[in-house]
Structure 1
């Protein structure tokens, strides 16, 4: 479900509502799209193409009848757009690459319109778009900043656009062991919480397992490397950009175990029965809002998906309020390790979920 008050989304459409810009007649592309009443107030379903790689947001757009495509589909289409709307991410290289794509996808006379909250890089985003293509105007409201280009006439900095377009390309990390890209969680390193969890994985894990919130695949790769009796592993990940990396990172491991890659919102529940689950669950939204209820839901879903006697191995920040849901969901719970503000928790499912 879309948030009731999405300040960046509302402010993105302010230039149109206030009369600073006219809503275009031609096709419109919305990068990192989110659903909400401002979108429904201005756009027509046959005019708008939405690109969204985060499954909960994509699902909300689909439920409202919008056309949702992934990055490859948009890039493979020859359509050029009268306007490209952008909700840039906080990570600057990722945002710059998004601006580069937006400018490249404009039709002559088209404009890029972007918006960020002030504490999510709005000033930097405005400066970057101005550097790339010039600034046509800006408005501030709701602790956010909306800004846009002048109509495209080919005068943007094409050399800069090409450099920025490559900023979020996949590249190797951790001495070449893995592939990653800016913007995904812990994109350029092994997350210390996940590393702590890996240290506690028993070598005799066996059977069919699941990785909830798999990211670019580090936990799954370590499970398969350390636990030879694991015969199958399903990776559940809401961010399609991360899941694509996991496919690459686990390509060789697929020769010895059956792998499933699920672009899925774990909080919506999962199907299947598993012998074990590993998880480093998220505890905030893509906008960095603290949401411990997401981790709590991961725990409940894991318990429902485990066979009797199956185990959950999870890591969490020490302060997060997970004890109640763990005790309610599992027959036995214990803390296996603590370090640097993190805790590894093992829950064993009893005879009933």
Structure 2
């Protein structure tokens, strides 16, 4: 979908790639096609590890943070509006003054609202509509600095726009933290650790030797490094579904994501549960919080010998699953 809009914009002359210089492709997602962009000059900029690894595996230059100046940039709008603003402002600062900045996104992700807001700040081109999305171009320059928000403080934790639960502690995570036993001991992994709320609760248990925070979103992990300063913490910028930790864990805690874009995708949470089962000791325990409507029972009873609900509320279940079953 994105490549179709880019190709049409290039063919129509709406977006003209400068003849020289690097082109920043900001926050594309797995499966996005570079289309007619000059592949030898494109640098993908993303802090989301699965996307980072997918493009790197295809021989594309991938950076967590771009280093300007770029000749042009393409911003792939995310779902979170504040994060989208920050990415557009970043592109405007990275590209040479007057160079083209493309803003591309799906209608369901708010591209119409973003372009309307941007027109009050910059000379935005006519929008190209195709494949349930829109694309427009504006010249790089100053004037969007206030769209790059400073980190926020929420209940004693640092957060930043675009990360999960940026405005406050997630109710499910709070329920899980309250259910963790005081006598928790050994090595613990926090899968999808976010900005460190659960890890801080885990490290409040004196018997915990190590807590491994595994988080795919680099911005969230940066916040976690500020929020969790305990020497027993280790930080891993990694996809929780494929990460390889240095040793087996005694416990895994997690509040796994279950959305890909706007659509619920239980397969994502199921992949987290599978990863937890693989990394646990034979006597290990998974501590999981999940929305009640998610179909996790079958995978839990397939992968663990003991599964029980230990808390929750009308919207969430807190689950204890122990003794992972090894598949021969």
So what's the TM-score if we normalise by structure 1? 0.87
Q: What's the counterpart of residue 15 of structure 2?
A: 21
| Unmatched 5+ stretches in structure 2 | none
Match for residue 158 of structure 2 among 167, 176, 179: 179
Matched, 1:90 2:79: yes
Matched, 1:81 2:70: yes
Following superposition, the deviation at residue 35 of structure 1 comes to: 5.4
Q: What's the counterpart of residue 140 of structure 1?
A: 129
Q: What's the counterpart of residue 4 of structure 1?
A: none
Matched, 1:129 2:118: yes
Answer whether contact 1:102 1:112 (CA < 8 A) is retained.
yes
Following superposition, the deviation at residue 57 of structure 1 comes to: 0.6
Matched, 1:307 2:281: yes
Q: What's the counterpart of residue 51 of structure 1?
A: 45
Quote the Cα distance in structure 2 between the aligned partners of 1:351 and 1:48.
45
Q: What's the counterpart of residue 214 of structure 2?
A: 236
Deviations along 1:5-47, one digit per CA (max 9) or x if unpaired, are xx345434431144433333222111113354640542222x1
Quote the Cα distance in structure 1 between the aligned partners of 2:312 and 2:145.
45
Answer whether contact 1:82 1:109 (CA < 8 A) is retained.
no
Quote the Cα distance in structure 2 between the aligned partners of 1:9 and 1:245.
33
Say how many residue pairs are matched.
Answer: 325
Q: What's the counterpart of residue 145 of structure 2?
A: 162
Matched, 1:292 2:266: yes
Deviations along 1:231-261, one digit per CA (max 9) or x if unpaired, are 101011111110111111001x22xx2x211
| Unmatched 5+ stretches in structure 1 | 1-6
Q: What's the counterpart of residue 3 of structure 1?
A: none
* Residues 127 and 327 (structure 1), Cα distance of their counterparts in 2 relative to 1, 3 Å cut: same
Q: What's the counterpart of residue 280 of structure 1?
A: 255
Answer whether contact 1:270 1:301 (CA < 8 A) is retained.
no
Following superposition, the deviation at residue 199 of structure 1 comes to: 1.3
Deviations along 1:84-116, one digit per CA (max 9) or x if unpaired, are 100122222222222222112221431110111
Quote the Cα distance in structure 2 between the aligned partners of 1:21 and 1:91.
25
So what's the TM-score if we normalise by structure 2? 0.93
Answer whether contact 1:100 1:162 (CA < 8 A) is retained.
yes
Match for residue 194 of structure 1 among 148, 173, 179: 173
More helix by share: 1
Following superposition, the deviation at residue 80 of structure 1 comes to: 1.7
Quote the Cα distance in structure 2 between the aligned partners of 1:103 and 1:273.
45
* Residues 280 and 90 (structure 1), Cα distance of their counterparts in 2 relative to 1, 3 Å cut: same
Answer whether contact 1:112 1:148 (CA < 8 A) is retained.
yes
Matched, 1:33 2:11: no
SS at match of 2:158: strand
